[in-house]
Copies of this chain bind each other. A is one copy, B any other.
Amino acid sequence: MPGYAAAVKLDLCLDAAELAARLVDMRSVSGEETELADAIAASLAGLPQLDLHRRGNALVARTQLGRAQRVVLAGHIDTVPVAGNLPARIEDGMLHGCGSCDMKAGVAVQLRLAARLTEPSMDISYVFYDCEEVASERNGLLRLSRLCPELLTGDFAVLLEPTGGVVEGGCQGTLRAEIVATGARAHSARSWMGRNAIHEAGSILDLLRRYQARRPEVDGLIYHEGLNAVGITGGVAGNVIPDECVVTVNFRFAPDRSTEQATAYVREMFSGFEVRITDIAGGARPGLAGAGAASFAAAMGGTPRAKLGWTDVARFDALGVPAVNYGPGDPLLAHTPGEKVELAAIRACEERMAAWLTA
């Protein structure tokens, strides 16, 4: 693994919370993860218990101890756009900053375990990947699953997304679509000669404002759907009645709907408009009845609950690897400017997982 001599090296002897703060300060908005991926690769390359593989800004490091079981510990290294919340700040026992909760705290736990556990009781594959916070076709875990699925195999996987230290089962699916309002251009001084597509888009926003979320129970866990505009764009020039306005919506759907059913729901709701599906990823049912998930959940304690955000448990599910979400940080704070995570929760996560992995 040559070429990382010049990269910043992370000090993996730091306490997990301190390490998380260093990771937050290494800005890694989706698409800009190279510096952080270089640093992780440079830091892991020196550990004799791991083999290391890199595909773009995604990394897999594995123990090869011939254990009967293999667990995959996975986390994404990218963040949503910075919202005036860098650099990292530690205050009142909390680490504040972009990506602190979602999910550099979890990545710090992965790195600590990778450095500490030279003789775990099961083989471990550590997966670090890019572009989780953007359209799914850019997702680094998807890329790994296409290019080298053999690196992702295992008996069970844990995604260290923030769950408040509670095991979360399954995940909701996510669909993005462009809803297109059309009109007819004209000079804005004689607007009645045209038809204003932005005004037409008001009907799309009316539908979104009237939307009532469904909260179904699936395999004993309660999900909570959502349908929102996440983007809108329209306009030709300051004196032209625009002929197109595009509203990008994001539908988060419970795992009792297939991707086909979710698509049909969105097409039906906006049936008066052109609907272009741009991005879709199915959910995953809770799956807590599986042996690996049950053993892990018992070791971590607490009562499992439904995962509302889409996570790559769905991608592991599609690869045939049972997976759960478990990591430090309150998921309600993810993607907010006030994102933060308890230092104690990061340390507790590391200790519980280290105990389970060496039992």
Using CB atoms and an 8 Å cutoff, list the residues of chain A in contact with chain B: 80-81, 83, 102, 133-135, 172, 174, 176, 185-194, 196, 198-199, 201-202, 205-206, 208-209, 213, 224, 226, 228-242, 245, 247-248, 250, 252, 279, 308-310, 331-332, 334-337
Contacts and interface: CB of A to CB of B under 8 A. Distances in A.
Contact of A188 (B206, B226, B235): B226
B198 A205 contact: yes
A232 B235 contact: yes
A224 B248 CA distance: 34
Nearest to A196: B228
Nearest to A206: B202
A185 B336 contact: yes
A331 B205 contact: no
A299 to B, nearest CB: 27
Given A232-B233, A248-B235, A240 B80 contact: yes
Given A188-B226, A226-B189, A308-B189, A248 B238 contact: yes
A135 to B, nearest CB: 6
28 contacts: A133-B237, A172-B189, A185-B335, A188-B228, A188-B250, A188-B252, A189-B309, A190-B308, A190-B309, A192-B213, A192-B226, A196-B208, A196-B228, A198-B231, A199-B209, A201-B205, A202-B205, A202-B208, A230-B236, A230-B238, A230-B239, A230-B240, A230-B241, A231-B242, A232-B245, A233-B233, A235-B248, A238-B248
Most chain B CB inside 10 Å of its own CB: which residue of A189, A196, A224: A189
Contacts of A250: 188, 238-239
List the 5 shortest-distance A-B pairs measured between CB atoms, nearest first.
A231-B235, A202-B205, A189-B309, A198-B229, A187-B335
A189 B310 contact: yes
A332 B185 CA distance: 11
Contacts of A237: 80-81, 133-134, 230
